[in-house]
């Protein structure tokens, strides 16, 4: 019960801050429209005047709907990106405000701070997913297959991986203090290896091996199977299983790394440094 109260208190604080400064809504409305546009226009040009290039795309992906293929990847990437930034920036902001050390002295589970903050980022992620689908459907004219429950499930299967990655970033904040460079490096790597805007089948063999070590690759494949290719839950079950399996491993790894780094900074007395 105490843990629930802690999580609720942190989530409430972050929610109050979110609604107090609502300008983030503007970028959430604009990003989904602008971000995939360059990739969609490039794909349209590479398809050629007679659209013969779509045959090669279909051979690699199983669909000619390149716009849907791209925007599903963009939506997933934005959700992961928001959560990664929130995990890392939460502890960093507490450091800059001078409240991290006093909070760490409280007799509560440190992990509850991260859970509470992540609930608000999950709400933002849900908001941007809904906005993105509406904008892509009615402005870009992109049609998604399946139903809303399957769409939601495709995003939920990535939660363990996202939270695991977030805990790794939180540990880095406690250790190195500054997280921006690390987040930029990781999200850039993810855009390449996970096939956010292109099929991983076209990458060299060694890069495909690396991509399969990331749970987000399988999460994207599952989402595209259901939302773009018109597949069923059974068709995507293999990718869902791999995404969950690797995500749970990443979750445990993130928790272990976070606990180890927390002990290290407490012993060295560097928690309050920034």
pLDDT at 241: 93
> Across residues 54-64, what is the average pLDDT?
78
pLDDT at 264: 81
pLDDT score of 4 more than 80: yes
Per-residue pLDDT tens over the stretch 194-247: 888 888 888 888 888 989 988 988 988 888 888 888 888 888 889 999 999 999
Domain ranges across the chain: 2-268
pTM listed for this prediction: 0.85
Per-residue pLDDT tens over the stretch 154-192: 878 888 888 888 888 777 777 777 777 777 777 778 888
DSSP letter string over the chain? -HHHHHHHHHHHHHHHHHHHSTTHHHHHHHHHHHTTHHHHHHHHHHT-TT-THHHHHHHHHS-S-HHHHHHHHHHHHHHHHHHHHHHHHHHHHHHHHT-HHHHHTSSS-THHHHHHHHHHHHHHHHHHHHHHHHHHHHTS-----S-HHHHHHHHHTTHHHHHHHHHHHHHHHHHHS--HHHHHHHHHHHHHHTTSSS-GGGS-HHHHHHHTTSHHHHHHHHHHHHHTS---TTTTHHHHHHHHHHHHHHHHHHHHHHHHHHHHHHHHT-TT--
pLDDT at 274: 62
């Amino acid at each position: 019960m105490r843990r629930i109260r802690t999580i609720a208190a942190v989530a409430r604080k972050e929610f109050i801050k979110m609604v107090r400064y609502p300008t983030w809504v503007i970028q959430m409305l604009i990003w989904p429209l602008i971000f995939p546009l360059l990739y969609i226009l490039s794909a349209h040009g590479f398809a050629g005047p007679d659209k013969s290039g779509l045959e090669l795309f279909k051979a690699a992906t199983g669909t000619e709907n390149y716009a849907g293929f791209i925007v599903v990847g963009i939506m997933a990437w934005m959700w992961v990106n928001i959560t990664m930034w929130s995990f890392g920036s939460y502890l960093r902001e507490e450091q800059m405000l001078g409240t991290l050390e006093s909070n760490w002295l409280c007799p509560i589970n440190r992990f509850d701070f991260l859970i509470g903050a992540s609930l608000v980022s999950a709400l933002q992620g849900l908001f941007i997913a809904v906005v993105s689908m509406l904008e892509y459907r009615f402005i870009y004219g992109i049609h998604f297959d399946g139903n809303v429950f399957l769409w939601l499930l495709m995003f939920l299967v990535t939660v363990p991986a996202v939270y695991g990655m977030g805990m790794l970033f939180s540990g880095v904040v406690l250790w190195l203090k500054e997280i921006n460079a690390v987040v930029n490096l990781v999200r850039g790597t993810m855009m390449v290896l996970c096939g956010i805007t292109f099929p991983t089948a076209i990458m060299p063999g060694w890069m495909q091996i690396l991509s399969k070590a990331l749970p987000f690759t399988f999460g994207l494949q599952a989402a595209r199977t259901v939302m773009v290719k018109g597949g069923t839950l059974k068709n995507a079950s293999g990718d869902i299983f791999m995404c969950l399996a690797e995500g749970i491993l990443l979750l445990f790894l993130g928790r272990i790394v976070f606990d180890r780094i927390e002990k290290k900074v407490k012993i060295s007395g560097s928690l309050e440094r920034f």
